[in-house]
Amino acid sequence: MRHKGHRVGVVLVAVALAVSACGGGQRSGEGAPLAQGGEFSVFICEPRGLTPGNANQSCSSEVLTALFSQLVEYDTANTENPVLMGEDAPRGHAASITSRDQQTWTITLKDGWTFHDGTPVTAQSYVDAWNYGAYAQNNASFFANIEGFVGLQCGRGAAGELDCDASPPISERMSGLRAADERTIEVRLSAPFSQFPLTLGYAAFYPLPEAFYADPEAFNTAPIGDGPFKMDGTWIHNQSVRVTRYTGYAGKPANAAAVNFQIYASIETAFTDLRAGNLDIIDRTPRAQIPTAAERLDGRFAEFPGSGWTYLGFPTYDPRFADPNLRKAFSMAIDREALTRTVKPDSVPADSFVSPVVSGYREGACGEWCEFNPDRARQLFEQAGGWQGELVLWFNSDGDHATWMEAIGNQLRQHLGIQDIRFEPLLFAELLDRERDKGINGPFRSAWAMDYPSPQNYLQPVFGTGGSSNYTYYSNPAFDAALQQGNAAGTISDGLDFYHQAEDLLIQDMPAIPLFFDVWATSWSERVDNVFVDPFEHVNKADIVVK
């Protein structure tokens, strides 16, 4: 899960992962000849780590997607008809992923893949990495539905903290995971999960070489992957990470000879460097620069649909927010179009709880409840008894949120008549702690970016009972039941009807207000072409052409 688009939907299809990609998306410089080398630079922030099991931050994953190959590859560049690619995927390692019952899965690997140290990538490379990742790693929850996961977990101390010394795991391996042979992984889940193939593109599922286990600390500064690029030296903290093309790569080779990930503390500084010719690609242009970026950069600017969406959550445990009509009144009093025109130009208005970049998104699913209608909002507001006393709006201060949150406060004053509004900005970590501890007493800004392209990933973790990121503490047994039916469906696409039923219940209850879908406002220099940013906020590094 990564905390943190356009109206183009991404259709992801998986039939034993044997569907090939067709066509090409609209990219800058499409049709440009392959480059023979060259080097380009990409903006990133300081990564929190470069070990796949712990990498759940965008700046970490930007580097890791250069160093590792995913089991499954999403053709998200082809926005007209993208597919989940299998045998024909240029850089995906899985040849097929099959199941008869959605609970026992067989993953067959392509032959001939090696790590950057020359050792072979085998089924055991994945099995060992997943067992390691399931134990006390940031991404451990991605393995929670594999049988035997619980046995790898530490117990907790008196204060609820993990205490591996006092309560160590009772097992070192998940019972539902084994390598049947060098190219076959067998996985048994604790319950059927139709979306399982879609999850396998996430960083948690990358393989690890034997060298990792000898010195995990050293690996974190110079990872040995199996992707199109390999490390050139080590990660220089707060400065850069440099990678070069891996000549032994079994997939489609990278165009450029090297990529330099330049680390900046400020996106504004990075944009200044890009204009001066000292940086080649920024995936997120500063908001203030977006209106004029295309003209100032002579067309070297584009907006790509992102998977992230921003919402205003309600503390449903607070009885003052118990009435869904009150929550809907707040939603209808917010003019999303005006906000995205003025203070949020890196977004488009949200009309669903599911992003347009995944199959299963329904345009306008939220209906009238996400449309600006101040008269209807006031009716619902009065019907719910209005609001007495101070209204507190919460958001994280270490993000560019103050301006648009204040604009929302002004709209609530104007359209609902709530005059006593106070803002409570906190650092993100502090806000997250308050949310987890039910310490929020008003609507709060939050966001979500997908881990894998399924409606289930937007619904269950964020709104399912006991969900890992359910900070509204919403709970509806009918919603949970619809999700479970989708999870147990016969195929990925068969699950969509049930996820739609779940979303419809969510829309009626409105424990949160969909506000914005992300747009990646991307800028690049004259030195590069064929630039694209996928919905996960990853630059297409291996396909970039250096002029």
Up-side HSE of residue 6: CA atoms within 13 Å toward CB? 17
Residue ranges covered by each domain of the chain: 2-264+525-546, 308-519
As a whole number of angstroms, the distance between CA 262 and CA 143 comes to 32
CB proximity list for 134: less than 8 A, separation 6 or greater: 140, 143, 146, 149, 152, 153, 174
Q: What is the pLDDT of residue 400?
A: 86
Divide the 547 residues of the chain into consecutive groups of 10 and give the mean pLDDT of each group: 36 35 34 66 95 89 96 66 58 92 96 97 98 89 95 80 80 96 98 94 96 97 98 97 97 96 95 97 95 95 94 98 98 98 96 94 97 98 96 92 97 97 94 94 95 94 94 98 96 94 98 97 97 92 95
> CB neighbours (10 Å) of residue 437?
9
Q: What is the pLDDT of residue 129?
A: 97
The pTM is what?
Answer: 0.87
Up-side HSE of residue 230: CA atoms within 13 Å toward CB? 12
As a whole number of angstroms, the distance between CA 172 and CA 127 comes to 12
As a whole number of angstroms, the distance between CA 99 and CA 78 comes to 27
Residue 300 and residue 285 in contact, taking contact as beta carbons nearer than 8 Å = no
Q: What is the pLDDT of residue 9?
A: 34
Residue 336 and residue 516 in contact, taking contact as beta carbons nearer than 8 Å = yes
Q: What is the pLDDT of residue 203?
A: 92
Query: Which of 518, 522, 526 shows the shortest CA–CA distance to 539?
Result: 522
As a whole number of angstroms, the distance between CA 88 and CA 72 comes to 11
Strands 240-245 and 545-546: unpaired
Domain 2-264+525-546 CATH assignment equals 3.20.20.70: no
Handedness of CA 340, 344, 348, 354 (dihedral sign): negative
Residue in the block written with tokens 């609209």: 26
* Fold of the 308-519 domain: Dipeptide-binding Protein; domain 3 (3.10.105)
* Residue 542 one-letter amino acid: A
Q: What is the pLDDT of residue 76?
A: 58
Residue 357 and residue 9 in contact, taking contact as beta carbons nearer than 8 Å = yes
Q: What is the pLDDT of residue 533?
A: 93
